[in-house]
Amino acid sequence: MRESLASRTLKIALYIIFVLGIVGAVSFPFLFDFYFGLFHGAVSLSAAYRSFLMVFVLCVAVPGLWIILEMIGMMRSIPQGPFVMGNVRALKRCGVILLVIATLFLVKCFAFFTFLTMACTFLFLICGFFAFTLAHLFHQAIIYKEENDLTI
């Protein structure tokens, strides 16, 4: 079966996002200093806040890259059929990772509150629950598929 244009485009986009994510995570400390250096003192950051942001961004970037890898793995399974237990496990891992990211944003809400941080907390929480819901739906589809395969 030939791969659709949408599927190929999505795969390419995921690989590009993954590479850009790695480049962004590695170069973030330099870009951060460069960006705030442009303001020449108009914005002052304490050393503690700067350190917190550095750690926070890296702690969010690594799980985010993991999610992209899980999505790439799920895209690779499509030719064999999307309803496989590997995809259910990948969706559950993504759900856990998204809840971890939501927890990191919640910690940031208590450390340095902004409304955007609170919005991101809820967004990642909802996405985590959505991933668990999809995992459950995929699992049910696998059960129905196996029952159907056993029917003559």
Q: Answer yes or no: is pLDDT of 146 > 70.
A: yes
Average pLDDT score over the chain: 92
Over range 41-70, report the average pLDDT: 89
HSE toward the beta carbon, residue 136, CA cutoff 13 A: 7
Token match 């200093």: residue? 33
Confidence (pTM): 0.90
17-26: list long-range contacts, CB under 8 Å, 24+ apart: 17/68, 18/65, 18/68, 18/69, 18/72, 21/61, 21/64, 21/65, 21/68, 22/65, 24/61, 25/57, 25/58, 25/61, 25/62, 25/65
Q: What is the largest CA-CA distance in the chain?
A: 75
Choice between 146 and 152, residue whose per-residue pLDDT is larger: 146
pLDDT band at residue 29, thresholds of 50, 70 and 90? Answer: confident
Residue 41 banded pLDDT, cuts 50, 70, 90: low
In tens, the pLDDT along 56-90 reads 999 999 999 999 999 999 999 988 888 999 999 99
